[in-house]
């Protein structure tokens, strides 16, 4: 699996780096999960006192990757057939939010 999020330890600092520079670090399907895994690594290390979040390349994060979520032919994660079920949408967005809130 590709490292979409990098982790570097520098003394008491954990550096978590979004690693999709060609896509301006846009959020992909797998990125939120990898982000929360790296945060858990920092939280589990008693030597770490600070987490610094950054993006590789020239952008921090350009938001969700619309090429992946909006332009790919269906089905894609989070898409659904009509009639729209708000609970399916909620579960997907809640999962992403939970990963981000690990910060």
User: Domains, the chain, ranges and CATH?
Assistant: 5-101 (3.90.226.10)
Q: What is the pLDDT of residues 32-63, one digit of tens each?
A: 999 999 999 999 999 999 999 999 999 999 99
Give the number of other CB atoms < 10 A from CB of residue 90.
Answer: 11
pTM: 0.83
Cα atoms in the 13 Å half-sphere on the side-chain side of 73: 0
The answer on pLDDT for 82 being more than 90 is: no
The top-scoring range by mean pLDDT among 15-24, 68-77, 92-101 is 15-24
Range list of β-strands (E), the chain: 5-10, 13-18, 50-55
Phi, psi angle pair for 21, to nearest 5°: -60, -35
């Amino acid at each position: 699996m590709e490292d979409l999020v990098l982790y570097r330890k520098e003394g008491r600092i954990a550096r978590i780096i979004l690693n999709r520079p060609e896509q301006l670090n846009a959020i992909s399907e797998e990125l939120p999960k990898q982000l929360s895994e790296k945060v858990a690594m920092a939280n589990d290390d008693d030597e770490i006192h600070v987490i610094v979040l950054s993006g590789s390349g020239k952008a921090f994060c350009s938001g969700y990757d619309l090429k992946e979520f909006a332009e790919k032919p269906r089905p894609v994660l989070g898409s659904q057939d009509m009639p729209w079920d708000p609970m399916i949408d909620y579960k997907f967005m809640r999962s992403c939010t939970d990963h981000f809130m690990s910060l």
